[in-house]
Amino acid sequence: MIVLLLVIVLITIIVIKMTQKPKPRKLLKTDWEPDTVYLYQFKRPDFGPNLSPYCIKIESYLRANNIRHEIVFAVMERSSKGLIPFIELNGQEYADSEFILYEIQKTFNVKDVEDPERAGALRGLMRTFDTEVFFITYTFLSQLTKFHQVVGSSLPIPSFLFPLFVKFLKHRLGNRIKGSSVGSFSEAEKLQVLERNLTAAENVLGNRRYFGGDIFSVADAAIYGQIAASYLFPVPVPTSTFIREKCPNLERYIKDVTNTLFSDFVTVD
């Protein structure tokens, strides 16, 4: 009886926490240093920088541009928009990776690609990866048991509640995917779009070191985040399989960027 009651209370708390409408709130870091980025992100899995492509996006950009930062692994903390990652910088909170990188670029005067034609092409490619490629990849990742285990291990969920948690997570991700731009696509159509988008990136990269040439641009952060999250995941999904089989430039790029920026805890050969 008591156990049952406890279970109900715990589930209720977790569901409320995860579905809560975000509200304005005070800074989490009260004794902040000027010009230091406080990055709130999910706990690191053991196979890569993060399970979330958006967390990898922000962290890779900070590392590549030598920007002073501190990482806070969030458990229940969410931005005032209800999401992770978010940052606090000079006494302000910024949420959504798009605004975060814009703010960092501005504050620290980071150079990006200057040629307008190239910059425009990269902008389009980056949006494709942050939207279509993300939702398509997560359609496949969220079908894997390993995916739920990794997400579950970053949260304080007792093992007996795990099956319930998986149901909840599947339902939540399913709704997000359905509401996205690829929501009405069949699985075959998703695969088609995915392969076209990856091939486009493969060709735009060519034999350059980065999408931004010598510069690890905002577009690099976005695209690297999306492809590295699935490439480094220990179970193959169509995104990583297609990269391994058909995109030698992208594969070389993932290895180079990972080994250059994240070798303190993961290397790929």
Give the 3-state secondary structure of residue 24. coil
Q: Does the protein bind ligand NAG through residue 124 (CB under 6 A)?
A: yes
Among 197, 226, 230, 239, binds ligand NAG (CB under 6 A): 197
Q: How far is the CB of 12 from ligand NAG (least distance, A)?
A: 40
Among 196, 208, 246, 252, binds ligand NAG (CB under 6 A): 196
Q: Does the protein bind ligand NAG through residue 142 (CB under 6 A)?
A: no
Instruction: Specify the residue for token string 């303190």.
Output: 264
Q: Does the protein bind ligand NAG through residue 136 (CB under 6 A)?
A: no
Instruction: Specify the residue for token string 């731009």.
Output: 181
Q: Does the protein bind ligand NAG through residue 191 (CB under 6 A)?
A: no
Q: Which stretch binds ligand NAG (CB under 6 A): 14-22, 40-48, 193-201, 224-232?
A: 193-201
Q: Does the protein bind ligand NAG through residue 254 (CB under 6 A)?
A: no
Q: Does the protein bind ligand NAG through residue 246 (CB under 6 A)?
A: no
- In whole angstroms, give the CA distance from residue 60 to residue 49: 9
Q: How far is the CB of 132 from ligand NAG (least distance, A)?
A: 5
Among 125, 136, 218, 219, binds ligand NAG (CB under 6 A): 125
Of 111, 62, 113, nearest to 89 by C-alpha is 62
Among 50, 97, 128, 240, binds ligand NAG (CB under 6 A): 128
**Residues 125, 223 contacting (CB under 8 angstroms):** yes
- In whole angstroms, give the CA distance from residue 208 to residue 227: 17
Among 58, 89, 193, 227, binds ligand NAG (CB under 6 A): 193
Kindly tell me which of 25 and 196 has the beta carbon lying closer to ligand NAG.
196
Residues 72-101 that bind ligand NAG (CB under 6 A): none
Of 69, 65, 70, 68, nearest to 109 by C-alpha is 65
- In whole angstroms, give the CA distance from residue 109 to residue 3: 55
- In whole angstroms, give the CA distance from residue 234 to residue 225: 16
Sorted by sequence, the CB contacts under 8 Å of residue 136 that are 6+ apart come out as 182, 190, 191, 193, 194, 239
Instruction: Specify the residue for token string 């350059």.
Output: 208
Q: Does the protein bind ligand NAG through residue 132 (CB under 6 A)?
A: yes
Name the site residues for ligand NAG (rule: CB under 6 A): 124-125, 128, 132, 193, 196-197, 200
